[in-house]
Homo-oligomer: A and B are copies of this chain.
C-alpha cells in the first residue's frame, strides 16, 4: 500500500477522526457519502447537498457508463463539472451493479424505473462481464480496464477496484474462486492505472471473501500488499450484525493504520457506529435517500431501527414534526400529518422533504461521531445513540 493524503487527528480505540485531502478538497472523516448514482442526489441540487454539510458524493460507474456515457461526461469537463458538484467524488467500480443485475436489488430498482427494459448478464469470464444494457438493449462489456477507464474519464477523486461482489447465498467454493479472480482483476486495475490514472486520483482495493474468515483474511492481506491508496470492504458481510462486525474486523486487520478505509453500502445507524468503532473512515449507502423517497424518516428510535414510516395511517392527523429538534425544512415547517398525506399520494415534495430530513439526520450523526472521537467521548456518544439519544 502506498502513502495516502490522509491525516488522522484523533482516536478512540480503533475509531479515528481525520481529514482526507483530495484534488477537489478535504473530506473530514468519519464521513458518510450520499449516493449520486446518476450524477444527482435524487431530488436535491448539488448546492443543497453541500449546504447539508456533505463533502463527498458517490457517482455510479455502471449507470453513468450506460447513460449518458463517460465519453460525453468527459467532453463536458468531467463528472464534477457535469453535475455542478465541485467537491470530491468517489466512484464505485460498477462491479456491484454488474453482478447484482441477475439476482439483486439493482435489477429490481432498474426494472421499476424502466418498465419493460432490464439489464441482463450474458456471461461472466476471466476477461470481464458481458451484459445487455437496460438503456438501449445493446450488448456491453465491463472488465477491470473498462472500469478504470470510465472512472478516469469521470475524473473522480477516489476510484474503486473492479470486483465481483459475491452474493449472499454463495457457497465457500464459489466465493473462493470469485475472490481469487477479484484479486487478479485488482492487479489488472493497478497495471492499467500505472499508465493511465489521472493525476491525484486515489485508488482503493476491495476486500472480498464473503463470510469465510480465512478467505476474508487472505483477501485483506492481498489488498494490503498491493499498490492501493486505501481499502474498501465489500461483498456479503453476513446475516447478523455481529457476523458483519467480525467480517469488517478481519478485512481491516492487515491494512496500514494510515490508509483510509471505506465500508461499501452500509448505512444503518448502529452499523455506522460499529463501523466507525472498528476503524472505518467512509461509508456510502442508499438507505437515507431511498427511505426518504419511500416515505420513511430517520429518527432517534433504536427500537424501530431508527425508522419512522410516515405512510402509516397512525400519522394522518399528527400535528407534530418528525423531530422537534431537527433543523431541516421538513421538521421546521411541516407536520407528520402533512408529510403522511404527501407520501401516501406519492408527491415529489414528500420525496424531497424526507430526503432532506434523512440527510440532515445522518450529517448531524456523523458530525457528532467526529466530535466525540476528538473529545474522547466516543463510547458515551455511541451508548447514547444506541439508547435513543438525538443526534442533533
Q: A residues near B, CB below 8 A?
A: 38-47, 67-68, 72, 75-77, 82-84, 113, 293, 316-317, 319, 329-330, 333-335, 337-338, 341-342, 345-349, 351-353
Pick from B44, B68, B77: contact of A319, CB under 8 Å: B77
- Taking CB as reference atom, which chain B residue is nearest A44? B349
- The reply to whether A76 and B42 contact each other, CB–CB distance below 8 Å, is no
- The reply to whether A75 and B333 contact each other, CB–CB distance below 8 Å, is no
A83 proximity list for chain B (CB < 8 A): 338
Given contacts A42-B347, A113-B346, A76 and B337 within 8 Å (CB-CB): yes
* A346 to B77 Cα, complex, angstroms: 23
- The reply to whether A75 and B338 contact each other, CB–CB distance below 8 Å, is no
- The reply to whether A68 and B316 contact each other, CB–CB distance below 8 Å, is yes
Given contacts A45-B329, A333-B84, A317 and B72 within 8 Å (CB-CB): yes
A68 proximity list for chain B (CB < 8 A): 316, 341
* A334 to B43 Cα, complex, angstroms: 14
A341 proximity list for chain B (CB < 8 A): 39, 67-68, 82
- The reply to whether A347 and B38 contact each other, CB–CB distance below 8 Å, is yes
- Taking CB as reference atom, which chain B residue is nearest A64? B341
- The reply to whether B46 and A84 contact each other, CB–CB distance below 8 Å, is no
Task: Report the minimal beta-carbon distance from A215 to chain B, rounded to whole angstroms.
Answer: 38
New contact pairs (4) apart from A45-B329, A45-B333, A47-B333, CB-CB < 8 Å:
A42-B349, A47-B329, A84-B333, A113-B346
* A334 to B347 Cα, complex, angstroms: 24
- 6 A-B residue contacts at CB 8 Å? A45-B333, A45-B353, A46-B333, A76-B317, A76-B337, A352-B352
A352 proximity list for chain B (CB < 8 A): 43, 45, 348, 352
Pick from B44, B317, B337, B349: contact of A45, CB under 8 Å: B349
Which residue, A38, A40, A317, has most C-beta atoms of chain B within 10 A? A40
- The reply to whether B347 and A40 contact each other, CB–CB distance below 8 Å, is yes
Task: Report the minimal beta-carbon distance from A353 to chain B, rounded to whole angstroms.
Answer: 6
A349 proximity list for chain B (CB < 8 A): 40-45
Which residue, A83, A330, A351, has most C-beta atoms of chain B within 10 A? A83
* A351 to B347 Cα, complex, angstroms: 12
A40 proximity list for chain B (CB < 8 A): 342, 347, 349
A67 proximity list for chain B (CB < 8 A): 341, 345
Task: Report the minimal beta-carbon distance from A44 to chain B, rounded to whole angstroms.
Answer: 7
Task: Report the minimal beta-carbon distance from A321 to chain B, rounded to whole angstroms.
Answer: 10
* A44 to B349 Cα, complex, angstroms: 6
- Taking CB as reference atom, which chain B residue is nearest A318? B76
Task: Report the minimal beta-carbon distance from A61 to chain B, rounded to whole angstroms.
Answer: 16
A41 proximity list for chain B (CB < 8 A): 349
* A330 to B345 Cα, complex, angstroms: 26
- The reply to whether B338 and A82 contact each other, CB–CB distance below 8 Å, is yes
Given contacts A333-B47, A352-B348, A338 and B77 within 8 Å (CB-CB): no
- Taking CB as reference atom, which chain B residue is nearest A86? B333
* A361 to B254 Cα, complex, angstroms: 58
* A295 to B77 Cα, complex, angstroms: 23
